Amino acid sequence: AAGVIQSPRHLIKEKRETATLKCYPIPRHDTVYWYQQGPGQDPQFLISFYEKMQSDKGSIPDRFSAQQFSDYHSELNMSSLELGDSALYFCASSSTRVLRYTEAFFGQGTRLTVV
């Protein structure tokens, strides 16, 4: 079965550079979530989209932005990168037309290292 696809899997950037992470949700899933997981921490919710519109916002820095495109793929854009942005970034997708039991499935993540 198709899963959530994230690219790239690994990314190394220098401070103050920009990075773009991509996510391709499971087909027919209408909701995409972005999470950040630092070393030894639990996943922190950044932002979600439902049917290409922003749905909920978490602890996403102003330096980050995200969008969902007409083909449902999503991109997380990160500017003015800081050392503290080094983390695993996960994308997840689910079908939430009926909001109960919104089981989300995660991609393998993008490991971002800022040097």
Partner 1 sequence: RKEVEQDPGPFNVPEGATVAFNCTYSNSASQSFFWYRQDCRKEPKLLMSVYSSGNEDGRFTAQLNRASQYISLLIRDSKLSDSATYLCVVNKAGRRALTFGSGTRLQVQP
Looking at residue 59, the DSSP 8-state letter turns out to be S
Q: CA 101 to CA 91: how far, in whole Å?
A: 18
Q: Which is nearer to partner 1, 44 or 79 (CB)?
A: 44
How near is the Cβ of 16 to partner 1 at its closest, in Å? 27
Q: CA 61 to CA 44: how far, in whole Å?
A: 12
Q: Which is nearer to partner 1, 13 or 29 (CB)?
A: 29
How near is the Cβ of 58 to partner 1 at its closest, in Å? 6
Q: Which is nearer to partner 1, 58 or 69 (CB)?
A: 58
Q: What angle do CA 57, 97, 68 make, to 5 degrees?
A: 45
Per CB under 8 A, residues contacting partner 1 are 31, 33, 41-45, 48, 50, 55-56, 58, 88, 90, 92, 94, 96, 99-109, 111
Q: Which amino acid is at 112?
A: L
